[in-house]
Structure 1
Amino acid sequence: MVFAHDTEMSLQSAVVLANSAEPPDTLESVADLDRFLADFEYSGRHDRTRAELDAVRALRPVLRELLTAERDHAVELVNAMLSEARALPQLVRHEPYDWHVHAVLPDAPLVTRITVETAMAMIDVIRTDEMSRLGVCADEDCDGVVLDLSRNRSRRFCSTTCGNRNAVAAYRARQSDG
């Protein structure tokens, strides 16, 4: 494990959320948001309204900018996010996890909680100088964000789809050369 569990989950959810704007858009309904929250075990308030969905959708380019930023710019973005949300880090424990960090109250708007949890996770990435764990998909037709949590730092594609497409293209290129 490169980071603590809550940091990894926050980073993974931010990448999925940022990539949900890539065609095809995978965050178009409140039901899509419900699935996203269940997949990443978000606790706290969830209004299940179109306004909440629209606020989360509007966060996607902000997260993409943060996740693909150079280290010094990422620091500026993280500090602005935490300041705007008036984040106050504290240790909390709830099922199914032991003590971990939350920096906003559970009744804060969902978009605020996602923003702050992502910013808090990025603090660990920045402090450990692990920005190289984040990047853009190596598929020339994709702009998806990649989070590489592998030991050997070998992840190059944002999804299995992009990886498979490139593997098939490379295979076909080898076959046509032979």
Structure 2
Amino acid sequence: MAFAHDVEGALGSLVWLANSALEPDTLETPEQLAAFYADHGYTGVLRGTRAELEEVRAMRPAFRQLLLASRDDAVDLVNAMLRENAALPQLARHGDTDWHLHAVQDDQRFAVRIAVESAMAMVDVIRADEMSRLGVCADDTCDGVVLDLSRNRSRIFCSTACGNRAAVAAYRARQA
């Protein structure tokens, strides 16, 4: 199942945010929030304040819960996020990005935009019955969320670092 480019992007940023709360925390400064904003192609207002950072950081446990929920539980979480943030989906095109959905205005708080874009992406995952694309890292020492967008559903590690760590451990075990 191939998702639209905006859905894949929103899912990637949602997983990144959920995993940023793991040790070491990778979202501790307004500068790191600005880098996240740029790296994940967000548009609209970014104030770069400590309060804005804390608002985004506070959402991470709910995002992890959403990503690892059953399909039916995810529906309740998504509907609540859309309702609480007064989402109103509309088509938008800007810069090099072709038509895609925005569900809040660009002047909304960044945390609201993240929540709504994440919920809208999860709508597609739920409707396509693709919750199996989300899971927990196969590395026993990691609790990271995995987003598997591969054709053959073969991704089992949340990052290259976890995959490399597992490969090194397997190599060492074979050499012993």
State if a TM-score over 0.5 links the two structures. Answer: yes
Identity of aligned residues (%): 67
Equivalent position of 1:83 in the other structure: 83
Equivalent position of 2:26 in the other structure: 26
Letter in 1 for 2:165: R
CA distance in 2, matches of 1:140, 1:119: 29
Equivalent position of 1:50 in the other structure: 50
Equivalent position of 2:112 in the other structure: 112
Matches within 5 A, 1:11-160: 11-160=11-160
Gap runs ≥5 in structure 1: none
CA distance in 2, matches of 1:86, 1:21: 27
Q: CA deviation at 1:111?
A: 0.4
What RMSD over aligned residues (CA atoms) do the two structures have, in Å?
0.8
Runs of 4+, deviation exceeding 3 Å = none
Q: CA deviation at 1:13?
A: 0.4
Q: CA deviation at 1:171?
A: 1.1
State the TM-score, normalizing by the size of structure 2: 0.98
Equivalent position of 2:170 in the other structure: 170
Q: Deviations over 1:106-135 (max 9, x none)?
A: 001000000000000000000000000000
Letter in 1 for 2:103: A
Q: Deviations over 1:32-59 (max 9, x none)?
A: 0010010001000111100000000001
Local SS of the residue matching 1:135:
strand
Q: CA deviation at 1:174?
A: 1.5
State the TM-score, normalizing by the size of structure 1: 0.97
CA distance in 1, matches of 2:154, 2:70: 20
CA distance in 2, matches of 1:112, 1:10: 13
CA distance in 2, matches of 1:129, 1:174: 39
Q: CA deviation at 1:98?
A: 1.3
